[in-house]
Structure formats: C-alpha cells, structure tokens
Amino acid sequence: MEKEGGFFFLSIHAILENYEYKLLTKIYMIMKKILFLCASLFLVQSINAQISEKPSVSLGEKSYLYLTSPSLAANDNPIIYTFVTNEKESQTEITIFDNNLSVIKEFVAPYGRFERTITLYFLEDDGSWRSSDLGVSDITSYPAEPYYDNPSAAIDDHPALLTQTFFNDDDNYEYIVPIVEKGNWEYIEPTGDEKYAIDGYAVVGIKVVNDKGTEVCSLRTGARVSEYDWEVDFYTIGDNNYLTVGNEFYKVDKLRSSLTKVAMPERFSVSPKVARRNTLVNVSFDASDSPRAIKVIGGNGMECQKINVVPGTESVGVDTSRLSPGVYVVMMSEGGKNVEKCKIVVR
C-alpha cells in the first residue's frame, strides 16, 4: 500500500514536472515571437528612416529597376535605371541611379504617336494580289528596348535600353528611337507572298540619341510595318559590336560612331537570320558536285552542329532546337577549306 501511495505521489510529481516543462516551453515560444516581432518593427522603422533620408530610394511609380550589363557602362558597373512613359507629356522619363540608389541623372526622351492606314495583300496562285483592308492604326516612337548578348562573356538577353560604351566611349548615355516619316509606302515580306501598302506614317529607320538629345548616328532601313520589323538587339562578338534591326546585321564603328550593314554573299544566305529557338533556319547556296558541309560555330569557337551536304543540293535546314540563345556563325566548307560564312541569332 505504501508502494502504491509512493508510486501515486511520484506520478503526480512527474505530471507536474511535465506540465511545468510544457508551460515553460510555451512561454519561451511566446517570448520568441514577441522578440521577433519587435525586431521586425525596429527593422521596418530603420528602413523607413533611411528612405526618408534618401528620397531616391522611394521609387513610387518607378517600381521597376533595370540593370544593364557592366560591359555597356563606362565604369564597369551596371547602369541602374528606371523609365516611365508619360502619356500626357508624350515623353519617356529616364532616371539613372548609382549603387546606393541615389539619382545621378534624369532626362526625357520625347516620342510621338502617328496614324496610318494599312492594306495587306496576299499573293494568289495565279500571281495576282488579293487585298485586305486592315484599317487605321497608329505607331509610336518610343525608345527601343533592345537586349544585349555577349557569348564570350556568358551574357544572354540583358536589357539594354541605355549604353555608354556600345556606340562610343564617352560618358554620355545613348538610346535608340525609330525614325518615323509620312508618305505612301510598300513593304514586302521576306517570304514574298505578302505585302503591305501604308498610307501615312511608317518607321523608316533608327537613330541613336544621347542623354543631351544629340543624334549620335542613324541608319535608314526602308519602310517597316510591325514593331518586330524594326526590333533592335545588341551583340558583342570578340572585339566587335553589332546590332540587328529585324533580320539585318549592322557593325558598329565606335571611333566614328557609325553603323555599316554587314553584307552577306548572294550565293550563300540564311533565312531567318534572327530565329526563335526550335525554328528551322534555311541555308541556301549554289549547287556543286564537290562534297561540302555546313557547320554551326558557337560564340566560344566550338562546333555545335555539322551537316554533310549531298552533291547537287542547293539548301539545307539547321535545327535550332538544341542551340542555346546567342550568336552563331554558319559556315560552309568545301575541300577542307571554309568558303562561305554568315551569322545567325537564336533567341
């Protein structure tokens, strides 16, 4: 009976100890949450105090910060910027920040909105054109939003609305805007089976402008219809800078701040020159009885693909499904020597 009584009191003691342990544990967890909450409130107050001291940190409607590649900046640091379209004032407001998010430069890029009437024509089997009125539409001369690729530096699809080093080496910031002119224009698709008649305004080229509003260089491309037709991208291959407008390549001369179209051999061509991944790129050339091969070379100089050309063949298709986005050289070899080459871009 004493054993049973002792066991009973021991059990009560154990229960009390267990309850006390659980109670202390619960109190500890509550205190931990309170301390965490206090620390969080203190952190928020500290951040708010910093923001009140540095108004540039409070971005407001400029809620998206963009960073270019350091390769496009004069001091080897990314260009940190925001851009906001002000429809009321017809301008894009650009703000550039330092690494502490303090404003170092602000400027505006004016733009316009222009109307035109477009008629689309389809080529019929009998050679005639069937028209389809697309009605009235408008285009805007917003700054272009290119992307920057540099395969040798493993840079892929970096936003590049602004640059300091791509077109020259001064300290100004440059950007690209379309050249818009009024007239009657005709644009034929590269496939040759569609054409557009434009009555009104059309994009006829691009110009590079710096943050002071001064034109750095420009080029005329002929009338373009859709935004994709004048879509601009930047590429660095080795020591050379290139930009594409639609499917056309231009080399940048930084000493003269000029653009020169890269001519492709007439008897050796690729289409499209700028292809989405999984798109088949067609390579056309004159037929030959000699054994030849088409090679695709990546930005690192490595061979990515090789296609043996059957004698008498005038074209082959390059499969881009296994190619990473970037710039590639398509090369033809004949008799062990490279005889033709051109560049393609895979996005």
d(CA 111, CA 122): 33
Average pLDDT value for the chain: 78
Handedness of CA 247, 253, 258, 263 (dihedral sign): negative
d(CA 137, CA 128): 26
Percent of the chain with pLDDT over 70: 74
165 and 74 Cβ atoms separated by less than 8 Å: yes
pTM assigned to the model: 0.62
Q: Beta partners for 57? A: none
Q: Write down the pLDDT at residue 48.
A: 45
321 or 48, which is more confident: 321
